[in-house]
Amino acid sequence: MFHHVRQCTIAGFGNIALLAKLWSNYIIPLGYYADSVRHALISLGASHRSYLGDCPDEHEAVEAHVYNDIATRQYAIATRHAARDLQNLDSTTIRTSLVCCLIFVCCEIMQGHYDKALFHLRSGCKMLTSLEEAATQMQTTAMTTRQKCMAETVSRYFDQLCDIADMLSCLAFDAAFLMEEDAVIPDLSFFFRGNPETDPSQPFTTAAEARYDAHRMERAFGSALGFTFRGTFRPAISWSSFLDIPEEPSPTEDDYLEEWAEARRLFKGWSSRLDLYIKNVRSNPSATKDELWEAQFLSFIQKDWTMYIQHCERDLEMSGQDTFKELLEEAEALVLAYASMQKPSFTLAADVIPRIVFIAAFAGDAGLQRRAVDLLFSMRRKEGLWDSREIASVLESILIARECDLWDREFEKVSLPRLAGMLVSLKLCDEARPLPLATLIK
């Protein structure tokens, strides 16, 4: 199972996945000599293997049960080793503990325990804030041996800690949009590397670089919007009201003006560099299939944000419905263009699913919504806490409830996890398929 993680799980993240090299070049090698990390990775491998074989065939179901048992046993061993590490704190055990938090998040996601995944996510972030406090107090106050160890770890391994903080921040960012909550984790900006100003006339050199800068840009939009596609509108607007948002307020007219302007500035620079990169890839006769798909994927992200920005600023060149239709066609082409997307896949960054959910939730047209839900069902893809089939099941239940007049549009002013909880309580979902989203309800 350890080798399954290296050869299949991490390989499935793809070249464009945020910080894929962190896993390949640091976390996997760490597993060869750190017991806690090794057993955590074995647990993740078993969970991932169970996910790949998750289908109604009886033989596969038995096999999945066996892998789940392995995952549970290895997880318990990993947590015992991790607890021991924390009792013997040094620069190595601090970093192995952070890595274990990250792996535990992945394990709990694979097992459908989203609440526990969030717990480990916050535990890792809490450890990072403790490291920050120790580092900032080093020159000003008397320190304990433990604090000195933490401060020295920050000084010696700052780049590694920045990579881990970026990965945890990415997971938290996607969770925040799913839960529509602003403060999922504490501020980790101490560990964000300074981004030098780049020349917008220079293209990105790789798709991975473009995706990382996109995360920085999206983080700025998330902060401005309160991590909800409903934006800053109060009271909250329902999905069915998105295409008829009120004239007041909007992100450009309220207290978020400065944050919105900064996000727009980052988006403009990112778009300029991306356009040049995509042009270079598409004009390169030796570009691989993967490189062309990555360029198509980045273009999809760009069009998605362009549509959202134009709608919020009331600058759409065509009707909202036509824009949603065009975006959905882009999504369908993107998914169909890559054969591996038809197989079960797991990655950490929520890149594709939230954008299709946005169409399914806010389009307002039953035909477009149905196409978006069908696309989610066909994907069999997990992106962090975003599971395409689980969310499709929630949206499908809502569409059915609407047709039967069992649904109150006011329900659509709450987040997807709360909607999942409502569906469970109203018995409007398939009881044979649990909804892990509901575990995120406080």
pTM for this model (two decimals)? 0.88
DSSP 359-404: HHHH---HHHHHHHHHHHHHH-EEETTEEHHHHHHHHHHHHHHHHT
Euclidean distance between CA atoms 331 and 110, whole angstroms:
25
> Among 354, 11, 22, 17, which Cα is nearest to 211's?
17
Euclidean distance between CA atoms 365 and 325, whole angstroms:
9
pLDDT of residue 3: 77
Where do the structural domains in the chain lie, given as residue ranges? 2-179, 189-440
pLDDT of residue 415: 83
Question: To 10 degrees, what angle do helices 158-179 and 207-225 make?
Answer: 50
Q: Which residues of the chain have pLDDT under 50?
A: 55-59, 233-235, 241-249, 252
CA angle 194, 197, 201 (to 5 degrees): 145
Euclidean distance between CA atoms 49 and 71, whole angstroms:
10
pLDDT of residue 18: 65
pLDDT of residue 75: 93
Please check whether residue 392 is in contact with residue 416, taking contact to mean a CB–CB distance below 8 angstroms: no
**Pairing label, strands 381-383, 386-387:** antiparallel
Tell me the C-alpha to C-alpha distance, in Å, between residue 287 and each of 75, 206, 322, 343, 364: 41, 12, 32, 24, 38
Give, as one character, the DSSP assignment of residue 7.
Answer: I
pLDDT tens per residue, range 79-105:
999 999 888 889 999 999 999 999 999
Give, as one character, the DSSP assignment of residue 347.
Answer: E
Give, as one character, the DSSP assignment of residue 246.
Answer: -
Per-residue b or e along 157-173, where b marks 16 or more CB atoms closer than 10 Å to that residue's CB: beeebbbbbbbbbbbbb
DSSP 255-324: TTHHHHHHHHHHHHHHHHHHHHHHHHHHT-TT--HHHHHHHHHHHHHHHHHHHHHHHHTT--SS-HHHHH
Q: Assign 343 to helix, strand or coil.
A: coil
pLDDT of residue 414: 77
State how far Cα 167 lies from the chain centre.
10
